[in-house]
Amino acid sequence: MAPVARGLADTFRVVEPFQRGSGREPLTVAHHVADVHDLVESHCENERPALVGSSWGAMLALAYAAAHPTNVGSLALIGCGTFDQAARERMRANLNERMEDSLRQRLERLPEEFPDPDQRLRAMGDLILPVYSCELATTEQEVEECDARAHRETWEDMVRLQQEGVYPGAFAAIDAPVLMLHGAVDPHPGQMVRASLQPHLPQLEYCEWERCGHYPWLEKAVRDEFFVVLRGWLAKQSGHVPR
């Protein structure tokens, strides 16, 4: 998200959190929500910040806003993740349809090539980036390090909470404006994710680009428009006049 942070920093004050890594106890959504709360309390004083999250970060933004609805001014969800099994199955089908046999074979060899799970996760991300994208302007994601255990533990807890009926129902507590920004080429099925959220977030706005994948700021066709739309919407919610 560093490019997004930089792209907003000329107009807004931006605080980019770095999520905690794995440790002595398993990571949970509650841990991440508590960390965001500490950040908001220490950096935002009496302000209600906008939360801008991508993929899992979009899901975390919703989880935080549900737990602390009076602390959030607005939410922008970029390439938001899935909240039900049907959407996850659709996503897997999308990936399967797009993936060539050569890439599948390459992914199957990763455990041998990268015994370290953190390095393996990084390599997998690089390999599947084109499958998640439309026409990339750059393949540089600016990922400094990966934590495979943190990734696994966090996602398993999110799925557990969904299976127990916590999410997306808890999002009904959110009264802040919410915008989804999604690419039609993103394997995450945007319309299905939207449909799962809409009953709980009637204020949800949705913007989808045809020639766009999971990372709009990396896409040739939409990266400039992405920032125009995001800046404009955030400014409108905050009453700020963008430069």
Tens of pLDDT, residue by residue over 178-213, are 999 999 999 999 999 999 999 999 999 999 999 999
pLDDT digits over 47-73, tens only?
A: 999 999 999 999 999 999 999 999 999
Angle at alpha carbon of residue 142, lines to 106 and 223, rounded to 5°: 100
Q: How large is the average pLDDT for residues 4-10?
A: 95
145 or 116: which carries more pLDDT confidence?
A: 116
Contact by Cβ (8 Å): 179, 205:
yes
* Whole-number percent of the chain with pLDDT over 90: 92
pLDDT category at 240 given cuts 50, 70, 90 is: low
Q: How large is the average pLDDT for residues 91-96?
A: 97
Q: How large is the average pLDDT for residues 125-133?
A: 96
pLDDT category at 141 given cuts 50, 70, 90 is: confident
* Whole-number percent of the chain with pLDDT over 70: 98
List of residues 6+ apart from 185 with CB closer than 8 A: 133, 134, 210, 211, 212, 213
Q: Is the peptide bond before 199 cis (omega within 30 degrees of 0)?
A: no
Q: Phi first, then psi: what are they for 58, rounded to 5°? A: -70, -40
pLDDT category at 113 given cuts 50, 70, 90 is: very high
pLDDT for residue 29 = 98
143 or 107: which carries more pLDDT confidence?
A: 107
Inform me whether the pLDDT recorded for 243 exceeds 60. no
**pTM of the shown model:** 0.96
pLDDT for residue 238 = 83
Inform me whether the pLDDT recorded for 97 exceeds 90. yes
Cα separations in angstroms, 136 against 69, 83, 101, 213, 226: 36, 27, 21, 9, 14
Inform me whether the pLDDT recorded for 144 exceeds 90. no
- What are all long-range contacts of 83-87, with beta carbons under 8 Å and residues at least 24 apart? 83/59, 83/162, 83/167, 83/168, 83/193, 83/196, 83/197, 84/162, 84/192, 84/196, 86/192, 87/188, 87/189, 87/192, 87/193, 87/196
pLDDT category at 143 given cuts 50, 70, 90 is: confident
CB burial string 17-27: b at 16+ within 10 A, e below: beeeebeeeeb
